[in-house]
């Protein structure tokens, strides 16, 4: 007996004996296929969740980095295998059926578990090396952080920085970034972090337009924040002061507002750290106390204790706090 036959005999894959019409027959057990018509593949959850979250095939395709046709094919195959409709199609998009809702809920649980494991594995790092994904704003990068990142890399050459510049908050729970360096009066409760300094804001104008102090700001044209800047305290302050009605130009980034003021489009409230070093601008007011806001270094709790992130936290804390007075702004000269 060869070894394969012997193994099959021991495992029970071959059954003896079965006699029919005087003939002994050896029967091989029929094994069920590993895949069946109702089997759910791991990739199905990713596809289904992307469609549920975005409400369209094109949105899911963008999120997963594949083509519209690929998402269409995956969904069709999934519904065929399961024998159930997962999404209602309409002109408004794709809305999950009850079956789709159930699977999407399971997909979110799987996603949360995978991300939690990923964070815990990353938390076992003991040496200050490897990549750090940092999200911040364009104004903070240009007016404060860029030279500090250079100094950090010189001190920690084994750590690489991947900077995501956006005025929209990134989801640290979903690992869209490891840390966030952002100004906020109310950072998310589920994150941990450290307040670094207070950021001061004041009104600035083009120096050639305002060689002397401006007596009445309500007689000047204003550059205001666009809705996507998501600076509600500034929007509220301008409305309360009556300056919102004087805005004939709005921009959704602080860098854009700075450029507009430099071009002579009007006056605007700007961060002192960003505008003070522009030689063609003049500070028209003292820092506005009600518009100051804290600068935070934020991270997910699971990343506490990661050596490379702690290195960045401690470095930035010291480097930023050394510029505390500049960042808070000075009274108008």
Domain ranges in the chain are 1-30, 42-122, 130-199+293-328, 201-291
Q: Which residues contact 51 (CB under 8 A, 6 or more apart)?
A: 57, 59, 60, 71, 75, 87, 94, 96
278: exposed, middle or buried (Cβ count in 10 Å: 0-12, 13-18, 19+)? middle
- In the block, tokens 């009066």 appear at 185
Mean pLDDT of the 260-281 span: 94
Determine which helix (DSSP H) or strand (DSSP E) holds 105, and give its type and residue range.
helix 98-122
pLDDT of residue 189: 81
pLDDT of residue 289: 94
pLDDT of residue 89: 92
- CA atoms within a 13 Å half-sphere pointing along the CA-CB vector of 104: 17
* Cβ-contact 309, 303 below 8 angstroms: yes
Instruction: Name which of 92, 98, 94 is nearest 50 in CA terms.
Output: 94
pLDDT of residue 188: 82
42-122 and 130-199+293-328 share one fold: no
Most confident region among 20-24, 301-305, 327-331 by mean pLDDT: 327-331
In the CATH scheme, what is the code of domain 42-122? 1.10.10.10
pLDDT of residue 177: 79
- Tens digit of each residue's pLDDT (9 = 90 or more) over 113-138: 887 777 666 655 555 789 999 999 99
What's the CA gap between 226 and 221, in Å, rounded? 16
Q: Kindly tell me if the per-residue pLDDT of 1 is higher than 50.
A: no
Question: Which is more confident, 1 or 125?
Answer: 125
- Tens digit of each residue's pLDDT (9 = 90 or more) over 70-88: 999 999 999 998 889 999 9
Q: Which residues contact 254 (CB under 8 A, 6 or more apart)?
A: 137, 138, 139, 229, 270, 271, 274
Instruction: Name which of 60, 101, 61 is nearest 84 in CA terms.
Output: 101
Question: 136: which strand partners?
Answer: 165
* Cβ-contact 204, 225 below 8 angstroms: no
Beta strands in 226-331 (DSSP E): 247-251, 268-271, 281-283, 293-299
User: What is the topology classification, in CATH, of domain 201-291?
Assistant: D-Maltodextrin-Binding Protein; domain 2 (3.40.190)
* Cβ-contact 164, 279 below 8 angstroms: no
Mean pLDDT of the 224-230 span: 84
In the CATH scheme, what is the code of domain 130-199+293-328? 3.40.190.10
């Amino acid at each position: 007996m060869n070894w394969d036959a012997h193994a099959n005999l021991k495992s029970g894959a071959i059954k003896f004996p079965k006699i029919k019409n005087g003939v002994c027959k050896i029967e091989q057990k029929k094994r069920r296929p590993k895949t069946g018509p109702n089997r759910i593949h791991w990739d199905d959850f990713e596809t289904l969740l992307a469609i549920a979250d975005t409400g369209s095939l094109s949105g899911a395709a963008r999120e997963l980095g594949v083509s519209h046709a690929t998402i269409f094919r995956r969904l069709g195959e999934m519904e065929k295998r399961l024998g159930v409709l997962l999404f209602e199609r309409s002109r408004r998009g794709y809305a999950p059926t009850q079956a789709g809702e159930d699977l999407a809920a399971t997909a979110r649980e799987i996603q949360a578990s995978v991300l939690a494991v990923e964070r815990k594995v990353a938390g076992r790092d003991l040496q200050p090396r490897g990549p750090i994904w940092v999200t911040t704003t364009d104004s903070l990068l240009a007016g404060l952080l860029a030279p500090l990142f250079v100094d950090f890399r010189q001190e920690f050459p084994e750590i690489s920085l991947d900077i995501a510049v956006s005025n929209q908050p990134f989801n640290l729970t979903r690992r869209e970034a490891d840390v966030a360096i952002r100004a906020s009066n109310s950072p998310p409760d589920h994150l941990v972090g450290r307040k670094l300094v207070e950021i001061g804001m004041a009104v600035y104008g083009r120096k050639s337009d305002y060689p002397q102090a401006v007596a009445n700001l309500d007689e000047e044209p204003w550059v205001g924040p666009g809705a996507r800047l998501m600076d509600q305290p500034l929007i509220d302050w301008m409305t309360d002061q009556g300056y919102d009605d004087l805005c004939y130009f709005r921009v959704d980034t602080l860098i854009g507002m700075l450029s507009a003021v430099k071009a002579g489009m009007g006056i605007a409230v700007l961060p002192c750290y960003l505008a003070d070093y522009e030689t063609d601008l003049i500070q028209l007011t003292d820092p506005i106390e009600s518009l100051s806001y804290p600068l935070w270094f934020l991270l997910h709790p699971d990343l506490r204790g990661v050596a490379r992130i702690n290195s960045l936290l401690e470095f930035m804390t010291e480097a930023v706090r050394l510029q505390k007075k500049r960042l808070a702004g000075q009274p108008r000269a």
